[in-house]
Amino acid sequence: MNDLSRNYINGQWVDWSGDTLDVHEAGTGEVIARVPSSGREEMEQAIAAADRAFDSWSESTLEQRIKVLEQLHAGLKERSGEIAETICREVGMPIKLATAIQAGMPATMTKSYLKLLPDFPFTEQSGNSEVQYAPVGVVGCITPWNYPLHQVILKIVPAIAAGCTVVLKPSEIAPQSAYILAEILDGTDLPKGVFNLVCGLGQTVGDTLIKHPDVRMVSFTGSTRTGSLIAHAAADDFKRIALEMGGKSASVVLPDADLGAAVKGTVNNCLLNSGQTCTALTRLLVPADQHDEACELAAAAVAKMTPGNPLEETTRLGPLASEQQRDRVFDYIRLGIEEGATLVAGGPEAPDGCDQGYFVKATVFGNVKPDSRIAQEEIFGPVLSIIPYQDEADAIRIANGTEYGLSGAVWSADQDKAKKVASKLRTGQVTVNGGAFNPQAPFGGFGHSGIGREFGKWGLEEFLEVRSLQL
């Protein structure tokens, strides 16, 4: 049992003696840690500390900020094994993937900003004006449980680099990596108050954070429902917001594509982190005359996803992160059956031999209607919907036929044709023929998937106000 009954406020650990929240191991359901169920007072103390620290940190030199990020990068690398195992146990991502993604990406993203910062134009000339980019102020960061450290790093690194101060509320479902991060930052040259961590529930500490007048920006990753609440609250005080929310991304297979490669790539993407990924390709759009073959290929692909203990190297499909999420996915699978979709693989139960923990069978539905709930709503589990289409225009209509627009994919033997179709998808990023993920490219969504962008210079600009001096 890991007792984390403390918050990190104003450069020091502050013990907590009130109610606590249990953190469960995804693979067994056992309680592995306890964290504070903090109140409004603790969050207000953290915001006050960040507000006091802002004036001096906003005027720090670029060299000071780079030095802190270099120290952070070294700490992330040094503790990568601990980070990977911690998140593997909390979230359920298999250890091999957790090492590369959950522990690897935070270090990679920190390094990317170290490369970007020396050449970023914090001031530039435009005619007779000097354009200055100034830090926005105190930033409230609210982060999810599916990629718990990666999503934190995407916020706090560019925020600190911009000269902002930060108050972080991590997910109470997977909070332990945020504590590791706080320990690392505590050992850097970061002045007290620049980074603060308060753990608790959204309706108390989260509500305080998004409504506090001294918080000038809220950066949030999570559900569209919560994002809407934050947007409404921020509007009352004209706060800046950056929202990265849900998705129902379509993988469009054109008639001339390599169907086997397209199905395999889509299944692998859909089942990454057991489907607990906002960019997951959960809708596979195929020509009607290739539908049955696509279903057979998908069933064969998911059969290779070996479920089991995520701490074992041979496991390819881990559990979901919580009992609540598992039960929600079961309900959606039952709904898909009720809606008349063809159950090609899986079902609303745990895989054989996985009775403990929060496991769900990798599930594939065929003959899914584009307007059905399993094709419209984010399930956030290992569930793929295969949807037949009649022609290219029909495929684009179906792909764009949800309220979301976070990611997508297009597959074709003709790269230019694939790019043409990709340019018609109302979504923030599109993978063309399995193109590699680029951490330097902007990341964010259209519509109900979000406002703003993360990664690269776009991620840094979110935390900067623009001022012009007329000379």
Element (H, E) at 342: strand 342-345
Same domain, 465 and 424: no
Residues 241 and 257 in one domain: no
Given 172, 244, 378, 454, the catalytic residue: 244
Give CA–CA dist 300/130, Å, rounded: 60
Angle, CA 250 vertex, CA 248 and CA 256 arms, to 5°: 175
Q: State how far the Cα of 366 lies from the Cα of 380, in Å rounded to an integer.
A: 18
State the chain's maximal CA–CA distance in angstroms: 72
Residues 272 and 200 in one domain: no
Whether 42 and 174 share a structural domain: yes
195 & 217 share domain:
yes
Q: Tokens representing 34?
A: 């306890």
My answer on whether 77 and 199 are in the same domain is yes
Q: Is 75 left (phi over 0), alpha (psi -120 to 50) or beta?
A: alpha
| Same domain for 297 and 413 | yes
* Contact yes or no for 151/171 (Cβ under 8 A): no
Would you call 172 a catalytic residue per the annotation?
no
Same domain, yes or no, for 136 and 223? yes
What is the Cα–Cα distance from 413 to 430, expressed in whole angstroms?
16
Per-residue pLDDT tens, the chain, 471 aa: give them. Answer: 899 999 999 999 999 999 999 999 999 999 999 999 999 999 999 999 999 999 999 999 999 999 999 999 999 999 999 999 999 999 999 999 999 999 999 999 999 999 999 999 999 999 999 999 999 999 999 999 999 999 999 999 999 999 999 999 999 999 999 999 999 999 999 999 999 999 999 999 999 999 999 999 999 999 999 999 999 999 999 999 999 999 999 999 999 999 999 999 999 999 999 999 999 999 999 999 999 999 999 999 999 999 999 999 999 999 999 999 999 999 999 999 999 999 999 999 999 999 999 999 999 999 999 999 999 999 999 999 999 999 999 999 999 999 999 999 999 999 999 999 999 999 999 999 999 999 899 999 999 999 999 999 999 999 999 999 999
CATH number of the domain residue 98 falls in: 3.40.605.10
Could you give the C-alpha distances from 123 to 120, 126, 135, 340, 465, in angstroms and in order? 9, 10, 12, 59, 12
Is residue 244 part of the annotated active site? The answer reads yes
Total of domains in the chain = 2
How much is the CA Rg of the chain, to the nearest whole Å? 22
Q: Are residues 145 and 278 in the same domain?
A: no
* pTM, entire model: 0.96
> Which of 166, 170, 165 has the alpha carbon at shortest distance from 149?
170
The DSSP code sequence of 144-156 is -SSSHHHHHHHHH
**Could you identify the residue written with the tokens 């972080």?**
168
Q: Which phi and psi (to 5°) does residue 21 adopt?
A: -115, 135
Q: Are 207 and 226 in contact (CB under 8 A)?
A: no
- CATH of residue 386's domain is 3.40.309.10
Q: What type of residue is 337?
A: I
Question: CA-CA distance, 116 to 128, in Å (whole number)?
Answer: 27
Do residue 221 and residue 274 come from a single domain?
A: no
Give yes or no: residues 117 and 197 share one domain: yes
Same domain? For 170 and 268 the reply is no
Q: Which residue in 278, 295, 454, 462 is the catalytic one?
A: 278
User: Residue 412 is part of which domain span?
Assistant: 249-403+407-439
